[in-house]
Amino acid sequence: MICHVYRSPRREGAYLYLPDGKIPEDLPDELRDLFAGGASFLEINLDTCRHLVQVEPADLVRELTERGYYLYLQDPGATGEIIGQWLRKSRPGAGGGDL
């Protein structure tokens, strides 16, 4: 599996991993806005990659397969915050607290 890594031009330390063929415009509004204007700066072949600094390759493949993306934020609390915002907007009544 080939994936592309995008760096957010709006938030330092925010990285988005997408499978080949998917682009940030395909994502929920909050993620799309966070990565709008960003370009892929790294391509990774996950079939041959054995180690990544931010995530284990097997975990990354699972997330890309299940969710269609992997979001990495250097601030650990921020991931839940962004996903919570998306949940509240997309599913009225959803708590979106700790994810």
Tokens, residue 82 = 């962004």
| Rounded Cα distance, 9 and 12, in Å | 7
What does the pLDDT profile of the chain (99 residues) look like in tens digits? 999 999 999 888 889 999 998 888 888 888 889 998 888 899 999 888 888 877 888 899 999 999 999 999 886 565 566 666 666 666 555 444 443
What is the fold of 2-90?
NE1680-like fold (3.10.510)
What pLDDT score was predicted for residue 5? 93
Tokens, residue 42 = 């790294």
What pLDDT score was predicted for residue 4? 94
What pLDDT score was predicted for residue 78? 58
Domain ranges of the chain: 2-90
Give the pTM. Answer: 0.72
